[in-house]
Amino acid sequence: MIGDIHQRVTRSSVTSLAFFFHSAYVASFEPRDVSHALSDPNWVNAMHEELENFERNHVWDLVESPPNCRPIGTKWVFKNKQGENGMVVRNKARLVAQGFCQKEGIDYEETFAPVAHLEATRILLAFAASKGFKLQQMDVKSAFMNGFIEEKSARFPDRVYKLRKALYGLKQAPRAWYARLKSFLLKSGFVMGSVDRTLFLLSRSGDTLIVRIYVDDIIFGGSSHTLVSSFAEQMNREFEMSLMGELQFFLRLQIKQGLEGAFVHQAKYTRDIFKKFDMVDSKPMTTPMSTNTKFDADEDGEAVDQKEFRGMIDSLLYLTVTRPDIQFAVCLCARYQASPRTSHRQAVKRIFRYLKFTPELGLWYSSGSSLSLRGFSDADHAGCRIDRKSTSGTCQLLGTFLVSWSSLKQATVSLSTTKRVHLPSLAARSQLLWMKATLSDFGLKYGRISLLVDSTSAISVAKNPVLHSRTKHIDVRFYFLRDHYEKGDIDLIHVVSANQLADIFTKLLEFDAFTRLRGWRGIDNALIKGEIESQWTDLIALLV
């Protein structure tokens, strides 16, 4: 039960659709509070739209307050939605429940709802580009109001609103919405992914339709235009949808889909963080970090604003969704968030200056590309100057283009080069097996998956069951890799260090080596895709 909606927004005004549609303009500011919002007719329209959704979806009933019932309050949240060009396209007003005052076991039981991994979205983009169909996007208006809830709660001395459906802010709202949408899709003939519970597939007359859910954003596409259109109409009949057409802007990712493939980048987001941290006029640099950089705690250095430093790191970490070329440098700087110094902030600014030099870079997925699966695994040697731990680097490719990667400092000190390289191989193996299971839902079947490492000793340990002095210190869990090798899931292949693509995630590289690996990974503007594919052809020939 929800009560005490702001008195100045009356129930009678909710039904006044004429007032809501009187203006086609939007406000450029975000209100501080309700009083500020009510001073602008565009924000008043947005509030009317929200309350109209409540009435249309029959979200609540006005009832007497039950005895001994702890009520839950509400508040208005105002947010401008921007388009790809940064212009405000919609004023969004949400009346949300104050879920922070809910008590587990009283107001809610379960809250978990599956959310798609961004790497799963990259896999979908690569698959769609390879098959030559374009992905579409739709947004569910007031998605959480479509989810039915079982718990009861209330607020108001005499009369309260008893919720029939979930409301934004309630802890159980995402779970309720996902349950409703999943039930609808399964009844419509879709099959849920065996690994990814946000993936739904429909096969009909030899055609395939793929749907991926990210809360209230839905990405879909298929081999048949008729099947895609039918699904859009079906969803619009069941839920109130905003059909946004071809997928172009999703979770701050910009997607360009064409006949030759798909290009994913974050140019707008990059410009936004330049403005946020006053780096618009910064001098460009050709690499994210100098190879002469000697990073340590710098305890004698001058301390800097921790909040600002963490904000810069957080912004850069989200940029690594399409910019793996800065992954290692950002993760290296992130290790010093607890006590940042001037030297650490200068290193972060160097990353921004590199982004100034390469603002338009992104990931290119070519149409007609093969969908073979392979991985690379590498590690530096005792690279951390503080605790002498090594850094693991892995990357996984679908066809010739990157879909997953990682750069992570190892949890323990490696006592040998064998163990140092064995650790990232274990992580890469796990990721490859997850991708193999996920891609099986797309109808792709794989035998042995190639995992390329530049350590013959690590390969020997995985293949040879004999224990000796070089392996006795390795934990039992590392032999999981050997088990999957013997089962035929993974095939370990040696690659010379010069062609080890995971190098870019483990160490600082000179400009020539850095740009060479960056190009091989498809981390370049779509305008030079021909050069990338040529490089990849040369590399694959070397590996065979």
Label residue 414 exposed, middle or buried (CB < 10 Å: 0-12, 13-18, 19+): buried
Neighbours of 366 (CB within 10 A): 23
Enter the tokens of residue 358. Answer: 């390469």
Handedness of CA 401, 328, 115, 54 (dihedral sign): negative
Distance CA(467)–CA(472), nearest Å, equals: 6
Nearest CA among 102, 78, 99, 98 for reference residue 90: 78
Q: Which residues pair with 264 in a beta bridge?
A: 255, 363
**pLDDT computed for residue 253 by the predictor:** 92
**pLDDT computed for residue 385 by the predictor:** 73
Residues, the chain, total? 544
3-state secondary structure 482-526: HHHHHHCCEEEEECCHHHCHHHHHCCCCCHHHHHHHHHHCCCCCH
Residue 471: C-alpha distances to residues 214, 464, 524 (Å): 44, 11, 41
Nearest CA among 56, 122, 127 for reference residue 399: 127
Q: Where are the chain's structural domains? A: 11-251, 370-507
Nearest CA among 469, 544, 389 for reference residue 461: 469
Label residue 110 exposed, middle or buried (CB < 10 Å: 0-12, 13-18, 19+): exposed
Match 């329209």 to its residue by tokens: 45
Pairing state between β 490-494 and 449-453: parallel
**pLDDT computed for residue 527 by the predictor:** 37
Strand segments (E) across 355-471: 362-366, 373-379, 391-398, 401-409, 449-453
Neighbours of 98 (CB within 10 A): 15
Residue type, 393: G
State the fold for domain 370-507. Nucleotidyltransferase; domain 5 (3.30.420)
**pLDDT computed for residue 9 by the predictor:** 44
Which phi and psi (to 5°) does residue 230 adopt? -65, -40
Match 């030099």 to its residue by tokens: 357
**pLDDT computed for residue 336 by the predictor:** 92
Task: State the greatest distance between any 2 C-alpha atoms of the chain, in Å, as a whole number.
Answer: 82
Enter the tokens of residue 143. Answer: 């998605």
**pLDDT computed for residue 21 by the predictor:** 39
Distance CA(104)–CA(249), nearest Å, equals: 36
Q: What is the DSSP letter of 471?
A: T
Pairing state between β 159-163 and 60-64: antiparallel
Distance CA(299)–CA(194), nearest Å, equals: 50
Helix (H) or strand (E) holding 534: helix 529-543
Distance CA(6)–CA(361), nearest Å, equals: 47
Enter the tokens of residue 11. Answer: 């129930």
Distance CA(523)–CA(517), nearest Å, equals: 9
Which phi and psi (to 5°) does residue 196 adopt? -95, 110
3-state secondary structure 391-420: EEEEEEEECCEEEEEEEEECCCCCCCHHHH
**pLDDT computed for residue 528 by the predictor:** 37
**pLDDT computed for residue 523 by the predictor:** 54
**Tens digits of residue pLDDT in 264-321:** 999 999 999 999 999 999 999 999 998 888 888 888 999 999 999 999 999 999 999 9
Enter the tokens of residue 437. Answer: 């299971």
Q: Which residues pair with 256 in a beta bridge?
A: 263
Rg over alpha carbons for the chain, rounded to the nearest Å, is: 26
Q: What is the DSSP letter of 295?
A: -
For the stretch 423-435, what's the b/e string if a residue is b when 16 or more beta carbons lie within 10 angstroms of its beta carbon?
bbbbbbbebbebb
Enter the tokens of residue 413. Answer: 């000190």
Tell me the pLDDT of the chain (544 aa) as tens digits: 334 333 344 433 433 433 333 344 788 888 988 889 898 889 988 888 888 877 777 777 777 777 766 777 888 889 888 876 778 888 888 888 887 777 777 677 777 778 888 899 999 999 999 998 999 999 887 666 555 555 444 444 456 667 766 677 777 878 888 888 999 999 999 999 998 999 999 998 889 999 999 888 899 999 899 999 999 999 988 887 777 789 998 888 999 999 889 999 999 999 999 999 999 999 999 999 988 888 888 889 999 999 999 999 999 999 999 999 999 999 999 999 999 999 999 999 999 999 999 998 999 998 877 899 999 888 887 777 777 788 888 899 998 889 999 988 877 666 555 555 556 667 788 888 899 999 999 999 998 888 888 777 666 666 665 555 555 555 555 555 566 666 667 777 888 878 888 888 888 888 888 888 887 655 554 433 444 444 444 444 444 3
